[in-house]
Chain A
Amino acid sequence: MTMYISATFKELTRKRVFLVSLILTFVFLVLFAFGVRELTGMAGQNQVSPAERLMNSLVLMVLGLFFSQFLAAFFVLFSAMGIVTGEQENGLLLAVAARPIPRWKLYLAKWLGHAVWITVYSTALFVSVVWTIHIQAGFPILADEMLRGLGLFLWMPLLLLTITMLGSVYLPMLGNGICSALLYGFALFSGLVEGVSSYGGPHPALEKFFLLTGLLLPTDSVYRRSLFELMGGADWAGMAISDMGPFSITSVPSNTFLLYTVGYAAVLLLLGCRAFSRKDL
């Protein structure tokens, strides 16, 4: 496993898209820090109240993490969309799969190898954004809230990795990238629509639709719960993010739903191992 984690890291760092992602992430973080500094500076000049300052920091946090999860998702899509069929097409898998190692172990090792580096990238992104807002906008950080938020923030790209890898067993690299991006975009879009629709009161049909979307690809739901936890749960989150248009969080996924996502990932991993073991290379 350690061999594969190390090999995956070397493989990722050799991909041009990895370098581009890192540069763009760095640019995003610099621009974000600059933007936050300017906004908080303007707020300082207007002598806002502590409550208003807190509200502003919550709003900045929502926006910062929204774009961060977007970056994490694209990092996953670009690095994992060709894990199986891409390597099959270019011949990398042939010599490897003929070795005396069960295919399911190869699949899990590849998942783990990508998961480690996705976790490292997403952690760096999350910590940078939260730290920037904490330092510049005075967002209060509590260790347990931050850890819960971080854990769930990391779970989102790992879920996306699991479904993208499963897709890569069946679909060609580009097709899988498009399908996974569409699924992720669909979940994201549903979340945004849910935020907007909250203004018109409850719509049973829409609620069912959002629930089904969440069950199909729970990335957006997990992201929302991450945000909810980071912002102090019910004490604070409700203040800021129930009235942010598309970014509003009208309903927070329950612990049962989080358990569902664990089962969801486990089933997808099992399906991937099974499909990869039976695949003709």
Chain B
Amino acid sequence: MMMIDTAELTKTYNGRGGCRGITLQVPEGCIFGLLGPNGAGKSTFVKMLAGLHRPDSGRATVLGQPLGRPEARRKLGYLPELFRFQDWLTPAEVLRFHGQLGGLRPQETRAPAFRSRVRDTLELVGLSDAADRRVGGFSKGMQQRLGLAAALLLDPELVILDEPASALDPVGRYEIRSLLKRLRGRGVTIFLNTHLLEDVEELCDEAAFLYGGELLASGPLHKLLSGTGDSEGNGANWRFRLGGWLPETRAELNDALGGALSSLLRLVEADDDGNALLTARVSDREQAGYLCSLFIRSGLTLYESGPEPNSLEAWFLRMAGSRQGGVPQ
């Protein structure tokens, strides 16, 4: 069963921003990462899944239930991005409150079994020592851990986490990553919206990339990253750091390349001192070598040349860059 299944899901704010026509599926038991730069529409999409925003059009199911229905949220744990709990409550009281909101009767939340569950959940997120302190005195990281505890309290089948590690220190982030891996081991599906690429790289089985409100790529992470070429650099993106770059160099290179290769070359950055960084997607190493010789013949200084690192960061930058144009336009 698909835990999340959306088709052409659209939400805009007076025709601007938001996200448009998002179609993606999240299979059961995986960790799915949602990536994209700021303003890509990730939070809008996540809020629709959590039932906080109403879509303008399209359809979606969460845990097999139509979006927005309370039934869809019964087995869903959600950690919002910018949230707060009542300052005057203790973590145990917050969890009791959320237990009742989740459908437990008041007497059930007073039972020893629930108290034990609260203790276990607080221990899981590393808040056992602060169980009796008021939330008002918590650091942002502790609030984040408590939010995670509230999301995990009722044994959800699907957990949607919106920037779960944004306020955590490196130790906290490591602990959360370990926790998410354990949850996946228990069969919990995790939908992760994050800016931390290393988290996605280490945790996610699948990912999607949003840009400007549109879904640019989606699928198993290894397939998405396979586009960065093999270990020899064949079929990869190559980068060239050059000197002596002038505004007219772009046109000269276009003329020299004259066709197929020119559309592969992209100017990433250039400064007034003539330094430039170019990338090109090449089919093999010989093609990269030809470009190097062409640069030298054109009077440019070649400082550096090689395949881009085979990382999520490179993929992310390329995906974002593909919408910003290159050489030639």
Chain A residues proximal to chain B, CB less than 8 Å: 2-3, 7, 10-11, 14, 90-92, 94-102, 278, 280-281
Listed A/B pairs (18) with beta-carbon separation below 8 Å: A3-B100, A7-B86, A7-B97, A10-B88, A10-B89, A11-B88, A94-B83, A95-B79, A95-B98, A95-B150, A98-B50, A98-B51, A98-B78, A100-B72, A100-B76, A100-B102, A100-B103, A101-B70
Q: How far is the CA of A3 from the CA of B106 in the complex (A)?
A: 8
Q: Which B residues lie within 8 Å of A101 (CB)?
A: 70, 101, 103
Q: Which A residues lie within 8 Å of B79 (CB)?
A: 95
Closest residue of chain B to A99 (Cβ to Cβ) is: B101
Q: How far is the CA of A27 from the CA of B97 in the complex (A)?
A: 36
Q: Which B residues lie within 8 Å of A94 (CB)?
A: 52, 80, 82-83
* In the complex, per-residue mask of B74-101: 1 if CB is within 8 Å of any chain A CB, else 0: 1010111011111111000000011011
Nearest Cβ on chain A to B58's Cβ, whole angstroms: 15
Q: Which B residues lie within 8 Å of A100 (CB)?
A: 70-74, 76, 101-103
CB distance A98 to B82 under 8 Å? no
Q: Which A residues lie within 8 Å of B147 (CB)?
A: 95
Q: Knowing A92-B85, A94-B83, A95-B83 are in contact, say whether A3-B52 is a contact too (CB < 8 A).
A: no
CB distance B85 to A98 under 8 Å? no
Contact of A2 among B73, B88, B97, B106 (CB under 8 A): B106
Q: How far is the CA of A281 from the CA of B46 in the complex (A)?
A: 12
CB distance B51 to A97 under 8 Å? yes
Closest residue of chain B to A102 (Cβ to Cβ) is: B70
Chain B residues proximal to chain A, CB less than 8 Å: 47, 50-54, 70-74, 76, 78-80, 82-89, 97-98, 100-103, 106, 147, 150
Q: Knowing A3-B97, A95-B98, A98-B73 are in contact, say whether A278-B84 is a contact too (CB < 8 A).
A: no
Contact of A91 among B74, B78, B80, B150 (CB under 8 A): B80
Closest residue of chain A to B96 (Cβ to Cβ) is: A3
CB distance A99 to B86 under 8 Å? no
Closest residue of chain A to B13 (Cβ to Cβ) is: A280
Q: Which A residues lie within 8 Å of B53 (CB)?
A: 280-281
Most B Cβ at <10 Å: residue of A90, A92, A94, A95: A95
CB distance B103 to A92 under 8 Å? no
Q: How far is the CA of A281 from the CA of B53 in the complex (A)?
A: 6
CB distance A11 to B70 under 8 Å? no
CB distance A280 to B103 under 8 Å? no
Contact of B80 among A2, A95, A280 (CB under 8 A): A95
CB distance B82 to A96 under 8 Å? no
Nearest Cβ on chain A to B129's Cβ, whole angstroms: 22
> A90-B84, A96-B101, A99-B102 given. 13 additional CB < 8 A pairs?
A3-B100, A14-B86, A91-B82, A92-B84, A94-B82, A95-B80, A98-B51, A98-B80, A100-B102, A100-B103, A101-B70, A280-B47, A281-B53
CB distance A99 to B73 under 8 Å? yes
CB distance A11 to B83 under 8 Å? no
Most A Cβ at <10 Å: residue of B53, B100, B102: B100
Q: How far is the CA of A249 from the CA of B245 in the complex (A)?
A: 88
Q: Which B residues lie within 8 Å of A95 (CB)?
A: 78-80, 83, 85, 98, 147, 150
